[in-house]
Amino acid sequence: MFRRALICTDFSDGLYRLVDFVPSLGASGLEQIVFFHTVPLLESGSIPREDKQKIEKAQSRLGKALENVPDGLEVKVEVLSSNKPQDSIFKAAQTHRSDVIITGANTRSLLNETVFGSTTLSISEQTSTPLMVLRPQLISTYTCEELDLRCRHLFRYIMLAYDDSDSAKYLLDRFKTAAQNRPANSLQECLLIWVIEEGGRRELRSPEQLERARQKLEKIKQDLEALDLKVRVEVRRGEPLLELLDAALEFDISAIAVSSTRANKLLEWSAPSFSNEVLRRSWHPTLFFSPGKKG
């Protein structure tokens, strides 16, 4: 689905383990991988300066990625000294023309700044480059065999939560663009799911409403199948988040794709903070298509 990935790690998110699985990441369709880390500036004295010892240590840890690079794959390691990692990541993505930024997230609370991390939040507000947000708890506990398979199938089967809102339409448009330009051995399948929420006005949860939703998804399915994708349509009635998470398990997807139509508002679906809840409660990777502010 993507060709050029910027993998950002702070060494507490488990993503540094991916340096041992470069060939597997290449098998997912990636053609360029940049492992990226920032080291805080030393603040002792009147002038901040680089912490050369930590920079060298980080370069050594990430340097393993350069040891087993298959033909046709470009791998780089970049370690910078900065007190604003979000700005450095944004610039690195521009410099390397990355078409996906892979980063970690935690689940300490419902707040954006702690669910996604302030760095990830800031990145999403600066760039329209998609973010693949991975659970550190999951990456850290995979066995090597499991992580190898996960890397190979990183973008193979994507679920799109669709409800015909502006955010959903934006998500679909960005997804189509990525699918059209995807490399071989990458995206193969997608699941379109529309959940009609229980409660509310009766006419909004009638059988006719379910059928209208299915008809719209069937039209989208035809468009996606024209891109040589295997597409499944699912219309359900119930609590949207619970139905989405159940479907993710049932259909064995690789990631859940979400989006927003407004810069400065990370992860929005038809209900406020819906995608916040997806990340907080789902163990699946979340692929976020942001409108960004700067490109």
Q: What is the pLDDT of residues 38-87, one digit of tens each?
A: 998 887 767 788 889 999 999 999 999 999 899 999 999 999 998 888 88
Q: What are the φ/ψ torsions at residue 189 (nearest 5 degrees)?
A: -140, 160
CA distance 55 to 78: 10
Exposed, middle or buried by CB within 10 Å (0-12, 13-18, 19+), for 158?
buried
Tokens at 117, concatenated: 């991390």
What single-letter DSSP state applies at residue 203? G
What b-and-e string marks burial along 236-256, b requiring 16 or more CB atoms within 10 Å of the CB?
bbeebbebbbebbeeeebbbb
- pLDDT for the residue 86: 84
pLDDT per residue as tens digits for the range 120-141: 666 767 788 999 989 888 888 9
| Total-model pTM | 0.87
pLDDT at residue 179 is higher than 50: yes
pLDDT of residue 200: 54
Name the band, by pLDDT with cuts 50, 70 and 90, for residue 153.
very high
Confidence at residue 264, expressed as pLDDT on a 0 to 100 scale: 39
Check if the beta carbon of residue 189 is closer than 8 Å to that of residue 229: yes
Kindly state the tokens that stand for 39.
């080291």
Q: Which helix (H) or strand (E) holds 6?
A: strand 4-8
More confident residue, 291 or 176: 176
CA-based nearest residue to 142, from 11, 15, 280: 15
pLDDT at 289: 86
pLDDT at 276 exceeding the cut of 70: no
pLDDT at 47: 79
- Residue 242 pairs in a beta bridge with none
| Percent with pLDDT over 90 in the chain | 57
Question: What span, in angstroms and rounded, lies between the C-alpha atoms of 128 and 123?
Answer: 9
Q: State residue 290's pLDDT score.
A: 78
pLDDT at position 27 over 60: yes
Of 25 and 293, which is predicted with more confidence? 25
CA proximity to 161, closest of 281, 284, 1, 278: 278
Instruction: Report the range out of 108-117, 165-174, 266-275 with the highest average pLDDT.
Output: 165-174
Give per-residue pLDDT as tens, 209-225: 889 999 999 999 999 99
Which of 29-33, 123-127, 195-199, 237-241 reaches the highest mean pLDDT? Answer: 29-33
d(CA 185, CA 220): 23
Given this model, what pLDDT does residue 115 score?
39
- Rounded to the nearest 10°, the torsion over CA 284, 290, 294, 295 is 90
Residue 208 — pLDDT band, cuts 50, 70, 90?
Answer: confident
Please report where in the chains the tokens 């927003």 appear, as a residue: 260
Q: Which domains does the chain have, with CATH numbers?
A: 1-152 (3.40.50.620), 155-285 (3.40.50.620)
**Residue 48 is encoded by which pair of tokens?**
């901040």
Query: How far from chain centre, in Å, is Cα 25?
Result: 15
Element of type H or E holding 214: helix 207-225
The one-character DSSP state at 262 is: S
Residue 288 or residue 101, greater confidence? 101
